[in-house]
Amino acid sequence: MKIVVKKFGGVSLKNMFMIEKISKKIIFYLKKKNKIIVVVSAMGNTTDNLINLYRKTKNKIDESYDCVISAGEQISAGILNAILKKRKIKSKILLGWQIPIKTKGKYGKSKIKKINSKKILKEFKRNNVLIIPGFQGINKNGNITTLGRGGSDNTAIELANCFKSKCYLYKDVEGISFVDPKVFKTDSLKEINCYELLEMSSLGAKILQIDSVINCIKDKTKVFVLSSLNKNMKKKTKIIFKIKKIGLKSIHFSKKKLYFCKYQKNIDKLLKDFKNNNLDIDDVKIRSNEIVFSSDSCFNSIKTLIEKNNLFLKKNKKITKVSLIGLGIKNYDFNLIKIIRLLIKNKIKFNSLTSSEVSVSFFSKSNKVKIIKIFKKKYKL
């Protein structure tokens, strides 16, 4: 039995017309005698709407939160299954708790612990397509849990790991590009190194969730990223594990807020509250009576916790973080020095430059397209 995993994101499922298109893709692949696991995200902005709805309760993130925000994926699964049934396809929905997909960790950011593959194989004896809502599982207490934003990718990759299958992640872009195609139009890469992709995800790129990339690396899963909107299925990016190129591979821009807080006492309680409320912070600087950090998490949530801990928010401002990503970018052939000289030469104002062996990041107010063109020309991207 040959099993293929195909995951469709929210844009692919945003309305009935798009779901009808997906059903035709599934039927096409059935002609190749494959058994297909279809992992679905919520339709369009459903998850965002459910999160905003839950916030009105002013309750903490617990089992109620995960119960609410996991509903979107079940709606997608139900509608897609109904359309496939109408087309006489032998399909079935399997929810996370039915398989089960066992998870561990906190609500809102759980991690997959184990998947019962026997249940899936048993259902494939009677069905050709199994539709599994992504993003969700069940914990040891029997409660529904969610895997964090972008968790459907993780569901798909972990399912592919179970059956040593290929995993196709359908997005609203033609694979992975060296820069966000919404900022600068460019062709997608044919392949990308898994560690470069991990760095991109950790810096805020909305391509793949960090946990999904880690699991891909751990099990060396065959993963392909492609567009659900394009008929040309040959245009896709393959995640590879070999190092084929040293140096700059991609550029990522992330919009954040920079916070300046004055404090008198220990700030450990504040940091603990950030962790318990699943609020990510970065670029942290702690001085004698001030903490500075950046975040792309909800402003009102951060402000509430700052005030709760009796800290004074001196100011906050919008910033753009520029990240240059590629293996060996810091030390190989004096790359870091070359990058700094290139920025100065082209009058790109920057500050707070940090670096590792996989990325160089800095804050800048300069035009994004100008920065892209400078590095595209220099490094022949």
pLDDT at position 142 is 95
Angle at 267 between CA 261 and CA 273, to 5 degrees: 95
Residue that is written with structure tokens 């590629």 in the block: 326
As a whole number of angstroms, the distance between CA 366 and CA 259 comes to 20
Q: Please tell me whether residues 95 and 38 are part of one structural domain.
A: yes
Q: Please tell me whether residues 190 and 305 are part of one structural domain.
A: no
* For residue 334, pLDDT beyond 70: no
pLDDT, average across residues 271-300: 85
Q: Please tell me whether residues 204 and 259 are part of one structural domain.
A: no
Rounded alpha-carbon distances, angstroms, from residue 363 to 35, 175, 235, 293, 343? 47, 27, 33, 13, 12
Per residue in 176-185, pLDDT tens? Answer: 988 888 888 8
Across 141-150, 166-175, 218-227, 228-237, least confident range: 228-237
Q: Please tell me whether residues 148 and 80 are part of one structural domain.
A: yes
Of the candidates 190, 242, 239, the one whose C-alpha atom is nearest the C-alpha of residue 215 is 239
The total number of structural domains in the chain stands at 2
Segment holding 21, helix H or strand E: helix 16-30
The answer for 328, left when phi > 0, alpha when psi is -120 to 50, beta otherwise, is left
pLDDT at position 330 is 79
pLDDT at position 153 is 95
For the entire predicted model, the pTM comes to 0.85
With beta carbons less than 8 A apart as the criterion, state whether 314 and 262 touch: yes
* For residue 63, pLDDT beyond 80: yes
Highest mean pLDDT (candidates 35-49, 316-330, 339-353): 35-49
Inside any domain, residue 191:
yes
Inside any domain, residue 23:
yes
The SS3 assignment for 243 reads coil
* For residue 170, pLDDT beyond 70: yes
Q: Please tell me whether residues 157 and 33 are part of one structural domain.
A: yes
Does 53 or 305 have the greater pLDDT score? Answer: 53
Q: Please tell me whether residues 155 and 259 are part of one structural domain.
A: no
The SS3 assignment for 317 reads strand
As a whole number of angstroms, the distance between CA 224 and CA 75 comes to 26
- CATH label of the domain that carries residue 169: 3.40.1160.10
pLDDT at position 111 is 95
Q: Please tell me whether residues 182 and 290 are part of one structural domain.
A: no
Q: Please tell me whether residues 235 and 258 are part of one structural domain.
A: no
Rounded alpha-carbon distances, angstroms, from residue 214 to 78, 98, 146, 208, 221? 30, 26, 18, 10, 10
Residue that is written with structure tokens 């008198």 in the block: 264
Inside any domain, residue 270:
yes
Q: Which of 240, 261, 295 is the last residue of a domain?
A: 240
Inside any domain, residue 154:
yes
Inside any domain, residue 134:
yes
The SS3 assignment for 232 reads coil
Across 120-124, 128-132, 217-221, 288-292, least confident range: 288-292
Q: Which of 186, 221, 240 is the last residue of a domain?
A: 240
With beta carbons less than 8 A apart as the criterion, state whether 65 and 29 touch: no
Which residue range is the domain that position 374 belongs to?
250-379
Inside any domain, residue 339:
yes
* For residue 262, pLDDT beyond 80: yes
Angle at 325 between CA 248 and CA 322, to 5 degrees: 115
Q: Which of 206, 240, 274 is the last residue of a domain?
A: 240
Across 33-42, 51-60, 104-113, 200-209, least confident range: 200-209
Query: Which pairs from 196-202 meet CB under 8 Å and 24+ separation?
Result: 196/249, 196/250, 196/325, 196/326, 196/327, 196/358, 197/239, 199/323, 199/325, 199/356, 199/358, 199/359, 200/250, 200/252, 200/323, 200/325
pLDDT at position 34 is 85
Per residue in 145-167, pLDDT tens? Answer: 999 989 999 999 999 999 999 99
Inside any domain, residue 360:
yes
pLDDT at position 264 is 66
Mean of pLDDT over the chain: 90
Cα dihedral 280→316→49→169 (10° resolution): -50
Inside any domain, residue 245:
no
* For residue 44, pLDDT beyond 70: yes
Rounded alpha-carbon distances, angstroms, from residue 83 to 62, 73, 353, 374? 34, 16, 51, 48
Does 174 or 78 have the greater pLDDT score? Answer: 78
- CATH label of the domain that carries residue 343: 3.30.2130.10
pLDDT at position 314 is 80
Segment holding 180, helix H or strand E: none
Q: Please tell me whether residues 115 and 233 are part of one structural domain.
A: yes
Rounded alpha-carbon distances, angstroms, from residue 208 to 149, 169, 300? 10, 9, 26
* For residue 333, pLDDT beyond 70: no
pLDDT, average across residues 295-306: 85
233 pLDDT band, cuts 50/70/90, is: low
Q: Please tell me whether residues 365 and 233 are part of one structural domain.
A: no
Share above pLDDT 90 across residues of the chain, in percent, rounded to a whole number: 57
With beta carbons less than 8 A apart as the criterion, state whether 220 and 195 touch: no
Sequence length of the chain is 381
Helices (H), 140-209: 151-163, 194-202
Q: Please tell me whether residues 370 and 233 are part of one structural domain.
A: no
Share above pLDDT 70 across residues of the chain, in percent, rounded to a whole number: 98
Q: Please tell me whether residues 226 and 143 are part of one structural domain.
A: yes
